[in-house]
Structure 1
Amino acid sequence: MDTADKKADQSETAENFSILTQAQYQLEHREQKDMEPIKDEMPTSILQDPFSGEEGTQVQYRIMKWCSELGTKQISVMIAQSISLGVLSLPSSMATLGFIPYVEKTTLKQTSGCILILGIGALTTYTGYVLGQFKLRHPHIHNMSDAAEILFGTWGREIVTVTQIIFFVFLMGAHILTFSIMMNTLTDHGACTIIFCLVGAIICFVLTLSRRLQDVSYLGIICKRDSCSSLYTQTDQIPASLSIFISVTVTIIAVGIEAPDIKAYSVNHPTLLSGFSASLNIIISFAGHLAFFSFQSELAEPRDFTKALVALQVTDTSLYLVAAVVIYYYAGADVKSPALLSTSTTVAKVAFGIALGTIVIAGVIIAHVGAKTIYVRLFRGTNRMNESSLVSYGTWVLIVLLLWTIAWVIANAIPVFNDLLSLLAAAFASWFSFGLEGLFWLHMNRGKLDTKRKIVLAVLNVFLVVICVLMCGMGLWATGKGISISAKNAHGAFSCADNR
């Protein structure tokens, strides 16, 4: 072979090697890119993680732990936020729906309270997990409106921003309303209900003044070991979320001892209106999902969110089922809502006094997440959030003040506890706890339905979206009818009357 042929062969070999090397590089680069978080084509200010690069700044947010040696952190916040008002309405929902399903000639004619609690608990655990995975896929997400922009663009972001703020404010109003019921119980209606609502709003406003969720988590501590009884020797701190457990336990024991001679029906036959309203109260009990993105954003390790979620769902489902069944069983068909009113006057005062921590702190956590949504929207991509300047903190205070003022108005405008919860469940919880999660999963798995497992999950998530639409439409109808009926029997808006 002459010299020219050898040079040609060497040149061809070098060219082939170069092509092979380039192809290998592209393959490796593609694999590495597939493992990286997905970056959507959106403005830089929107894509940026609001809490990234905060090392060395005056105010740092991403310092939460899901659990620590000093007691529960993320778990405490999630339980305090989720297990609050919902559990107080479940016994009356059980009284409407009955314990067990109604079956006629092998056909299920009607579901039951127990099945709904377990079923909704399982579904919301799954949808919470979907939210956690969506956040890991898109680290810049801080709240539901960020996630909505990925699916629907700018218009979707704006719509969800408005609706989630409305949801937060209505939930805050529900906590103010519960605070006024508590004060009327403790004082035997010692003052105007409007004044009690105002006192509750002021207390919650003061406790919401910190900008960091980590600081709010410390509100979940009702005492330290050196100031508590010797019973608490295994932990340094006791979460205030425990107050709702103790309060419900006191109620369960009290109704068991008092045991009024009233039937608790295993199978009930509610109307479409009453049955749907009762179901909505169960749904709102599991509707903490709107705050999950914010909780996960301030975790030092976002992947730990799943651990906190499982702990929350096991805890709340167990408590809800036991409280609803036992209180209804002993209190009978006329069980009241909130359930703490189903006992004697003295026991109700004790139970409400114990529940004070959760009633207030759960509202504070909800307000904090709502205010943080607006705050991040205003200052995202700037240094304002990590500063202690007058503008930075003053803006936070004004946002919190505005939200609690609107919540106080709502608490006085819709004075019936169950109706307010049903309205929240129908209009908002249906989407934030079921529908959007189904859409998020479908978005993450576009073009990936290549296994039986993925196909089954796709069917499940389409089912979630369909159920959400039905729940929202039927729920708003049932709630509207319920509020119109209650308005004829209850005192009017902005009334000083006793609202127990």
Structure 2
Amino acid sequence: MADRADQPPGQIAARVHSSTPDTMAITYYDDEKASSKEVLPHDGDILQGDKDKHNYVVEVAPVGEHVTVHDAVFGEVGEEGPNYRSVSWMGAAALMTKANVGLGVLSIPEVFKQVGLIPGLILILVIQGIATYADYVICTFKLNHLEVFGLADAGMVMFGRAGKEFLAITFCLYMIFVSGSAMIALSTALNAISMHGACTAIFVAVAAITGFIFSSIRTLGQIMWLGWVGCVSIVAALLILVIAVGTQGAPVDLPPGESVVIKLFGTPTFARAMSSIASLVFACGGAPTFFGMISEMRDPREYPKALFASQGFVTVLFCVIGAVTYAFCGDYVASPALGSAGPLLKKVCYGIAIPALLLTLMIYCHTAAKYIMVRLLRGTRHLTANTATHWTVWLSSVFGCIFIAYILASSIPVFGSLISFVGALFSPIMAMGPYSLMWLYDNYRDPMADGRFWKARAGRTLRNKLLTGYHFLICLVTIFLTVGGTYGSIVDLIDASKSAQNKPWTCADNSNSVKQ
């Protein structure tokens, strides 16, 4: 009896198990139904199905015989190398959730402190809505262009070499900056748990070494289960935070005789407002990692199911954590937010959150290193074979990303300011703008226009015109958020750098567990 031999776009061969020595049953799938046939187990037997624009080819081979699968990104994938197509939709949902629920959520209560309760909730809903639709465009673009592995490949499709190089550099910088932010968060957690038991610079180095070890795991399928561990870890820590701030009566930093003041509408300066929006865009900006996830899914067509399950959960979680924590702590909320739980429960929260923070470092560093390796080895047998070249390039890519992230984390050891800076400078470009351009390329551009991107195709419907207007608007919003947010975050960084504990390679406690 045959195992299910799914034929997702981009994978054109499957292994078939035989129940008798004479025949094999093979099931292949198209967009509408499954079809089954029995075939003789001769070498070279081929089943072909041509449905719509996809051509499905299934190679039948006896059990135990070497099978090679061709993938549009990874090339010839054999049994002797890593399996790059092993992520289920539920595993993808866990990885998506963990990519979004990590560092950004820890800065959301601080955003509410700046803009107020009601604007904070509205901003979360709006930005999450924009991000979810952008994430969905990844699926449609990937299925239309199977060779695309990341944003840089999408840039090559749309704008040629210049687009590829711009998005490649921006993508790698963004991934590395986020990895650096994760190192700072881990050093904060270790400081909180140990009551500043060692120099902060040492804790950052420990985070970097641990991150290198875990990021070196080669496929997302191998770390898929860790996504669930990370999700449970961060959600448990955040729930303890919510319970703690709701039962402790008053924030630990509240001066005697004062009460918590909740602002429904804040009055931030322009710089503060833009910095807060940048932090939210960062919190919702896991999209750059999603190309790698869909490329390693067993069936990329199940991507929307994983996406909507993840984004629905993330949106509710962001609203609850931000609103409840701010409602009980007011202007005395800590950044990262886990510091608001009080002396004892702060240790508990950070201890439980460590696996989640480590997984954030792991996912972002792994994604950057995977892109570098694929780019260097694409088209060679070393990409999917366990050769010395494969291992050398892979480990060197991971080490390079970790090392640069470590330098950044040590140079800018201020969690909130670094989050807003990354969110402003990179997140709009990584989480919003390119996906609107992808939609325009596939749905607005005239395919007969000889590469001219902005020439519209004929016969567009009203729906197409409305969506075109929306995507052009998102492109303008991306530019505005990048310029305005970067200004605000630089102001924050300058202010934060005036503190002695925020100097590069500092030994000062960054968890506020020990009074200076």
Partner of 1:378: 376
Partner of 1:64: 87
Partner of 1:77: 95
Partner of 2:189: 182
d(CA) in 2 for partners of 1:452 and 1:86? Answer: 37
**TM-score of the superposed pair, with normalisation by structure 2:** 0.80
Residue identity matched to 1:240: G
CA contact (8 A) 1:449 1:455 kept: no
Deviation at 1:58, TM superposition (A): 2.2
CA contact (8 A) 1:57 1:387 kept: yes
Residue identity matched to 2:502: H
Residue identity matched to 1:162: I
SS in 2 for 1:333: helix
Q: 1:491 to 1:63 in 2, by over 3 A?
A: closer
Deviation at 1:52, TM superposition (A): 4.0
Name structure 1 gaps, 5 residues minimum.
1-31, 38-46, 68-72, 101-111, 222-238
Identity of aligned pairs, percent? 31
The structure 2 residue matched to 1:367, chosen from 362, 365, 368, is: 365
Deviation at 1:57, TM superposition (A): 4.0
SS in 2 for 1:220: helix
Partner of 2:422: 424
Partner of 1:485: 495
Pairwise mapping of residues 265-414 of structure 1 onto structure 2 (< 5 A)? 265-414=263-412
The structure 2 residue matched to 1:454, chosen from 464, 472, 477, is: 464
Deviation at 1:321, TM superposition (A): 0.3
d(CA) in 1 for partners of 2:496 and 2:217? Answer: 38
Deviation at 1:182, TM superposition (A): 0.5
Partner of 1:42: none
d(CA) in 2 for partners of 1:48 and 1:158? Answer: 23
Name structure 2 gaps, 5 residues minimum.
1-49, 56-69, 251-258, 446-456, 512-516
d(CA) in 1 for partners of 2:156 and 2:78? Answer: 28
Deviation at 1:448, TM superposition (A): 5.5
User: Is 1:218 aligned to residue 225 of structure 2?
Assistant: yes
SS in 1 for 2:498: helix
Between 1:50-59 and 1:296-305, the stretch displaced more is 50-59
Deviations 1:52-96 (A, max 9, x none): 4314342221111112xxxxx111211122210111000010111
d(CA) in 1 for partners of 2:71 and 2:489? Answer: 40
User: Is 1:163 aligned to residue 170 of structure 2?
Assistant: yes
Higher relative contact order (CA 8 A, sep 6+): 1
SS in 1 for 2:502: coil
Residue identity matched to 2:467: L
Deviations 1:273-295 (A, max 9, x none): 11111111111011001111110
**TM-score of the superposed pair, with normalisation by structure 1:** 0.83
CA contact (8 A) 1:247 1:354 kept: yes
d(CA) in 2 for partners of 1:155 and 1:329? Answer: 47
d(CA) in 1 for partners of 2:195 and 2:205? Answer: 18
SS in 2 for 1:53: strand
The structure 1 residue matched to 2:478, chosen from 447, 455, 468, is: 468
d(CA) in 2 for partners of 1:34 and 1:63? Answer: 26
d(CA) in 2 for partners of 1:405 and 1:52? Answer: 30
CA contact (8 A) 1:207 1:364 kept: yes
d(CA) in 2 for partners of 1:254 and 1:334? Answer: 14
User: Is 1:247 aligned to residue 253 of structure 2?
Assistant: no
d(CA) in 2 for partners of 1:414 and 1:202? Answer: 18
Deviation at 1:449, TM superposition (A): 6.0
SS in 1 for 2:298: coil
User: Is 1:151 aligned to residue 158 of structure 2?
Assistant: yes
Higher-helix-fraction structure: 1
Residue identity matched to 2:79: G
The structure with more radius of gyration: 1
CA contact (8 A) 1:134 1:444 kept: yes
Partner of 2:59: none
Deviations 1:106-149 (A, max 9, x none): xxxxxx10100001111111111111110110011001100001
Partner of 1:107: none
Between 1:77-86 and 1:191-200, the stretch displaced more is 77-86
CA contact (8 A) 1:241 1:357 kept: no
Residue identity matched to 1:49: A
d(CA) in 2 for partners of 1:265 and 1:240? Answer: 33
Count of matched residue positions in the alignment of Structure 1 and Structure 2: 427
d(CA) in 2 for partners of 1:180 and 1:266? Answer: 33
CA contact (8 A) 2:128 2:315 kept: yes
SS in 1 for 2:503: coil
CA contact (8 A) 1:97 1:278 kept: yes
